Amino acid sequence: MEHDVQSIISGIGIIPVISIEDEEKAVPLAHALSDGGIPAAEITFRTAAAEGAIKKISQNCPDIFLGAGTVLNIEQCDRALSAGAKFIVSPGYNSDLVHYCLSKNVPVFPGCVNASDLTRAVNDGLTIVKYFPAEQSGGLAGLKALAPVFPSLRFMPTGGINANNLLNYLSYDRIIACGGSWMVKKELIEAENWSEITQLCKNAVQTMLGFEVYHVGINCANPEQSQQDSQSFSSIFQFALRSGNSSNFASERLEFTKHPYLGTHGHIAIGTWSMDRALYHLAAQGIEFREDTRKRDKSGKTTSIYLKQEIAGFAVHLLQKGMGEKKHG
């Protein structure tokens, strides 16, 4: 159970932290989040509508990874779980609450911002904790100062996270996801501005994944054609030439294979900041991948993989940014 939850949280990458005053707005809000590519919600027990909102989302939006936040005690925890919450988040470290959740095999993420809190978390067997309030507690620098002392823990920073610092936090490999409320601000919910919430979610996902065209690979019949075509582009546009084992390059963006590879015409490489999260989000759209093309680094993390489908006669190659020099050959 814990492993599944960890995979889901890490894959989604962003957990909207929601304070809602009217439970009737819960379902359209959940749809707005899902339409924006973030099928997750942490409904906080800061309002009287929290329990009802969790229940409505649980009953009507089964695709939403749903949790309860600002849970202060066991009584609130029971209400949240009965309503349909799948995980519990607390602002601080309540040992009774943590032990209760663990006894029921319920994922719980207590707020921790100092060595004492983190020591309790490790001793209680937790592997994920909420780092809250993140920005007010030293931000990423503060977290990086603490994290090495607790190598078994991963973190979900919340508090002060926004579109401007999201990628900075997520670039740290000890962070499993970020919690934030900038895409679900109270005034947007009250105004039922679902389209704006959806757009803010899409923007957040794009910031997190950072998709961009990395290079275009053109299939050549043989090494001679590859050399000739790459030199033509170099001569006309003054692109730097580079020769690899299986391809020639005119700049880093144009690759000319020495022998035909995947794709009718070649391939288009799309770079991303996070392969694992990109794979999760693309799979959620129904995209399938060619497992025979998956490459991993020494730690086992995926560095590149091809999609099964071709687009306009080109295979599509997804790869980790910074790995552009590592081609199919």
The per-residue pLDDT for 324 is 42
- pTM equals 0.91
Query: Which residue in 178, 201, 209, 203 sits closest to 10, CA to CA?
Result: 178
Find all residues with CB under 8 Å of 255, minimum gap 6, and list them. 215, 216, 217, 218, 247, 248, 249, 266, 327
First to last CA, the chain: 39
The per-residue pLDDT for 3 is 59
Which residue matches tokens 């109270």? 186
Which CATH number is associated with domain 2-208? 3.20.20.70
- Catalytic one of 23, 42, 51, 255: 42
The per-residue pLDDT for 81 is 98
Strand partners, 267: 217, 315
> Is domain 212-320 classified as CATH 3.10.180.10?
yes
Active-site annotation holds for 104: no
The per-residue pLDDT for 322 is 72
The per-residue pLDDT for 258 is 97
Find all residues with CB under 8 Å of 216, minimum gap 6, and list them. 253, 254, 255, 266, 267, 268, 269, 314
Query: Which residue in 277, 93, 39 sits closest to 175, CA to CA?
Result: 277
> Would you kindly state where each structural domain of the chain is located, as residue ranges?
2-208, 212-320
Residues of the chain whose pLDDT is less than 50? 323-329
Q: How buried is residue 263: exposed, middle or buried, by Cβ count under 10 Å (0-12/13-18/19+)?
A: buried
Active-site annotation holds for 42: yes
The per-residue pLDDT for 4 is 87
The per-residue pLDDT for 213 is 95
- Catalytic one of 56, 130, 258, 327: 130
The token pair that represents 223 in the structure block: 């090494």
